[in-house]
Amino acid sequence: MRRPIFNVRDFGAIGDGRENDTAAIQRAIDAAGEIGRGTVFFPDGVYSVHRAAADNGHPYCLQLKSNIDYRGAGANSKLMLAPEQPNSTRLMSTQFVREPHDIRILDLQLDGNRWNQNLSYEQLHGILLVGVKAGQVENCIIHDFVGDGVYAHQGDTGSEAIYVAGNEFYGINRAAINFQGTSNSTAERNYLHDCWGHPIKMELANPLNLHGNSFVNNRAIKTAGMSISGNGDSQLNEMTIRGNYFEDTTGEFAITLRLVNRRFRVEENIIVRPEQIGIEVVSAQGEIIIARNTIQQAGTLSRMFVVGSATALPPGLKDHDRGAITLSSVEGFVIEKNYILNSFLQGIMLNGCQNTGGINFVKLNLITGTVESPYTVHQPDFPAGLWLKNTANTDVLLNEIWQNAGVGILLSLGSADNKFRCNQIESNRGGGVLVKVDAGANNDFGICSINPGNNTFRFQNESYGTWAVKNERPGATNQLPAQGNYWHPTEFTEGEIDRSNSLSERPSAETCPGMP
């Protein structure tokens, strides 16, 4: 059956950008709501909307109804928030609608009129979907909102099956897409640019059990980073971040996962020139996969601060404890097949990752060209290709770590029971492997029980390092096992190191043991 069309002009809307069209548009929506289906159509025009007359306790301009399409004719169909709206005004909202469902917003331009609002009113949202089951926002232009562009709120039972795709967002203060309370939802193919806030955000304030969200093939340029964060009482599981492009992100990260649970996949993303960290995971419980991402020039904020200048280091910019990929207090992860190029930070930083119930893997990554940041006093160890700090039970396999400004691999602060197999550690200016005096025991760079070929150390003594492996831990019982490795051109080592059974030819890593 053909869906009836409710043209807002037939209900008195003018669309000249001056007249208040709120009541006329709401009449069209209510008429469609009475029969429970239809399309509310916005012809070309600029429709000025205000908070509902006399407020009536309703913090919105337009109240959406279920099973209705809200469709424009493209960019020339604009809904514009009137100037000087009170805080908590939402241009379109499902608040106070019972069990809202099947709401589709298509081919419209939504203008938050940001420069004519109070910029401290962070609840001035474009679209607020509260407890919606099956919502869609597609092919819209959403811009200049002091709050969020699209906000999917949990309501009483949680939103579900929200689809935000093919939209353009810009000039958003808080978050372009906020999936704060939704499951089994997708944001894909959106172009998000020139925003002060997050392109995509999911930060929970209440205990919720959310799962199944996907963030795929979005493009974010000159925005803050993407943030997914629980609160300790929530369950966040089974989410995918894949194929997104981030460029010139501001703040501490391009992608962060904090206080999340299991089965998160961060795959095939491209991150170019983030101010600080490329991918960050903090306090996650397991099954975190970070794979096939490309991160270039992480830590570009570092370049703005020169040694000896009067410019102070900005808040949040830590000295060394950051990497292009940074994991802190994560149990159960695989970091594989990532390409990290020309980072001003460490290539990969593992901090406090103590997996007592299994094995963590860092494998098949290429880390090259880390660059010494000009804001800090020269330290030959940094930035390292891979730094394990207070980290245990991690297998480091088949990585290529070469031509970095610091050491290739650095172990410190109690890092213990880690194994290093079949890596190529070559031409790093600070040296190949450095085991600091405060590192833990039982780190093994030694011979493989299945394949006698182990790590390759090719060291060219380019600058200030003079060793391929250095063990600073004192005492004979702390001898570092480094048997069965290939050393080129010779055995440049310092400290107590067992380098027996050295190989005369470069080994093949095709049969490296321990691969998961």
3-state secondary structure 390-416: CCECEEEECCEEECCCCCCEEEECCCE
Instruction: Give pLDDT, residue 279.
Output: 97
110 forms bridges with which residues in the sheet? 79, 142
Coil, strand or helix at 33: helix
Coil, strand or helix at 47: strand
Coil, strand or helix at 303: helix
Pairwise CA distance, residues 373 & 269, whole Å: 25
Instruction: Give pLDDT, residue 373.
Output: 67
Parent domain of 507: 290-308+318-323+331-516
The position carrying tokens 């903090």 is 282
CB 109 within 8 A of CB 75: yes
Residue 146 CA to its chain's centroid (Å): 22
CB 168 within 8 A of CB 195: no
Instruction: Give pLDDT, residue 316.
Output: 45
Residues with Cβ within 8 Å of residue 149, at least 6 apart in sequence: 110, 125, 126, 127, 142, 143, 169, 172, 175, 176, 177, 178
Tell me how far CA of residue 8 lies from CA of 3, 39, 45, 272, in angstroms.
Answer: 15, 10, 11, 44
The position carrying tokens 């081919």 is 107
Residue 47 lies in a domain: no
Instruction: Give pLDDT, residue 375.
Output: 57
Instruction: Tell me the backbone φ, ψ of residue 300, rounded to 5 degrees.
Output: -65, -20
424 forms bridges with which residues in the sheet? 400, 456
Residue 163 lies in a domain: no
Q: How many CA atoms lie within 13 A of 329 on its CB side?
A: 8
Residue 496 lies in a domain: yes
Residue 337 CA to its chain's centroid (Å): 17
Residue 505 lies in a domain: yes
Beta strands in 222-284 (DSSP E): 224-229, 235-237, 239-242, 245-247, 250-258, 262-267, 270-272, 277-284
The position carrying tokens 């949990």 is 154
Instruction: Give pLDDT, residue 443.
Output: 87
CB atoms within 10 A of CB 359: 16
Pairwise CA distance, residues 272 & 249, whole Å: 8
- Burial of 309 (C-beta count, 10 Å sphere; 0-12/13-18/19+): exposed
**Counted domains in the chain:** 1
Instruction: Tell me the backbone φ, ψ of residue 191, rounded to 5 degrees.
Output: -110, 115
CB 255 within 8 A of CB 278: yes
Nearest alpha-carbon partner for 109 in 145, 66, 147: 145
CB atoms within 10 A of CB 209: 11
Residue 212 lies in a domain: no
Nearest alpha-carbon partner for 418 in 431, 409, 426: 409
Residues with Cβ within 8 Å of residue 297, at least 6 apart in sequence: 272, 273, 341, 342, 343, 344
Handedness of CA 490, 494, 500, 501 (dihedral sign): negative
Residue 113 lies in a domain: no
Cα 476–Cα 358–Cα 424 angle in degrees, nearest 5:
60
Residue 204 lies in a domain: no
Q: Please give the average pLDDT of every successive group of 10 residues along the chain, which has 516 residues.
A: 90 96 97 96 97 67 96 97 94 94 98 96 95 97 98 88 98 96 95 96 81 96 94 85 97 93 94 96 90 95 46 47 91 96 94 82 95 65 90 92 90 89 86 86 70 66 63 74 79 81 71 52
Residue 94 lies in a domain: no
CB atoms within 10 A of CB 262: 17
Beta strands in 322-399 (DSSP E): 323-330, 333-336, 339-341, 346-351, 360-363, 366-368, 386-389, 394-397
Q: How many residues does the chain have?
A: 516
CB 472 within 8 A of CB 447: no
